[in-house]
Amino acid sequence: VKPTTPRCSVPKAVPVGKSASLHCHENEGFPKSTYSWYRNSEPLSPDTKSSTKSHNSSYTLNPATGTLVFHAVHKGDTGRYSCIATNDAGFAKCEEQEMEV
């Protein structure tokens, strides 16, 4: 079963240096969806160690739960965030939401 449009929650504004949690979830898809996050239409790598784009960003992305946690945000984390839920039957994307740091 193809995923439905996931529900995304993105904080509107986060003070520099604070942590921020972004959530993405849908429960219609079968098999269970995996989640990927995008900032300004650029994919965020689940593995921050291997990604050059996010070398100065400290976040944890859990593809199974759809949770994206910034441990200490900085100005560069400001942007439009969206999430895509994917399974074998297809994918669905939530609306972009702005997070300001």
The count of structural domains within the chain is 1
Q: Answer whether residue 2 is part of any domain.
A: no
Assess whether pLDDT exceeds 80 at residue 95. Answer: yes
pLDDT digits (tens, 9 = 90+) for 43-66: 998 775 555 554 556 899 999 999
For 75, the 3-state DSSP assignment is helix
Q: What is the pTM of this model?
A: 0.89
Q: Answer whether residue 1 is part of any domain.
A: no
Residues paired with residue 69 on neighbouring β-strands, in sequence order: 21, 60
pLDDT at 100: 98
Q: Which domain holds residue 37?
A: 7-99
pLDDT digits (tens, 9 = 90+) for 9-46: 999 999 999 999 999 999 999 999 999 999 999 999 87
How many Cβ atoms are within 10 Å of 81's Cβ, its own excluded? 23
Residues 6+ positions from 44 with CB-CB distance below 8 Å:
36, 37, 38, 51, 54, 59, 61, 68
The CATH code of the domain that includes 94 is 2.60.40.10
